[in-house]
Amino acid sequence: MDKNDVDRTLTRIAHEIWERNRGSENIAFIGIRKRGVTIAERISGKLKKLEGAEIPVGALDINLYRDDLSEIASQPILKQTEIPFSIKGQKIILCDDVLYTGRTVRAALDALIDLGRPKAIRLAVLIDRGFRQLPIQPNYVGKNVTAEKGELFEVFLEEDDGRDEVIITKGDLNGTEK
């Protein structure tokens, strides 16, 4: 996927969110650090153009909720969770770049529920690469790709990496879904 593909995909997701929620009332975006936050901000920006209303965006760090803390060698570096609004009663759209095993999303769900009781949580991802290990399904998907097990998805976004691109490489699996 190149810059235009990424942009078109996110535009479509924004329209889908707009359509299915009949507007943007009571919606808030929460991105999973770090590229999920960028995706959340972009979709929010696109919805603003459609709707005119500012939709809040929060950032979630899921490292404290990981299920593999006792299995990995060193503790992951924590980044801040910054959610400057109450999630109580809101329809939360959780955003991430790649959906793979589903473990990150499981951690994010636990983290969100510790912050309050949202009315609903929906999941939006740029890439769904299959091979789930948990019963988790996204509501909004940019692109479904069935990759081989040994393949690695790399998402680059302008704000984080200086360019918009999604590529598939042969590589180490650990590193896709953190």
Partner 1 sequence: MELKNKDLISISDVSPEEINLILDTAVSMKEISSREIKKVPTLRGKTIINLFFEASTRTRTSFEIAGKRLSADVVNISASSSSVVKGETLEDTGRNLQAMNPDQIIVRHPCPGAPKILAELLPASIVNAGDGAHEHPTQALLDAFTIREKKGTLSGLKVLIVGDITHSRVARSNIFLLLKMGAEVIVSGPRTMVPLFIEALGVAYIPDINAAVKDADVIMMLRIQLERQGKTLFPTLREYSRFFGLSRAVLENAREGVLVMHPGPVNRGVEISPDVLSGSYTVILDQVENGVAVRMALMYLLAGK
CB of 135 to partner 1, least distance (A): 20
Beta strands 151-156 and 140-144: pairing type? unpaired
Q: Which residue stretch of 24-32, 89-97, 111-119, 155-163 sits at the interface with partner 1 (rule: CB under 8 A)? A: 111-119
* Residue selected from 25, 54, 68, 69 as contacting partner 1 according to rule CB under 8 A: 69
- Check binding of 65 to partner 1 (CB under 8 A): yes
- Check binding of 71 to partner 1 (CB under 8 A): no
User: Is the separation of the CB atoms in 50 and 14 below 8 Å?
Assistant: yes
Q: Which residue stretch of 61-69, 97-105, 132-140, 159-167 sits at the interface with partner 1 (rule: CB under 8 A)? A: 61-69
Q: What DSSP designation does 165 have?
A: E
User: Is the separation of the CB atoms in 152 and 173 below 8 Å?
Assistant: yes
Contacts of residue 56, Cβ cutoff 8 Å, sequence gap at least 6: 28, 29, 44, 84, 85
Q: Residues in the site for partner 1, rule: CB under 8 A?
A: 61, 64-65, 69-70, 72-75, 77-82, 110-111, 114-116
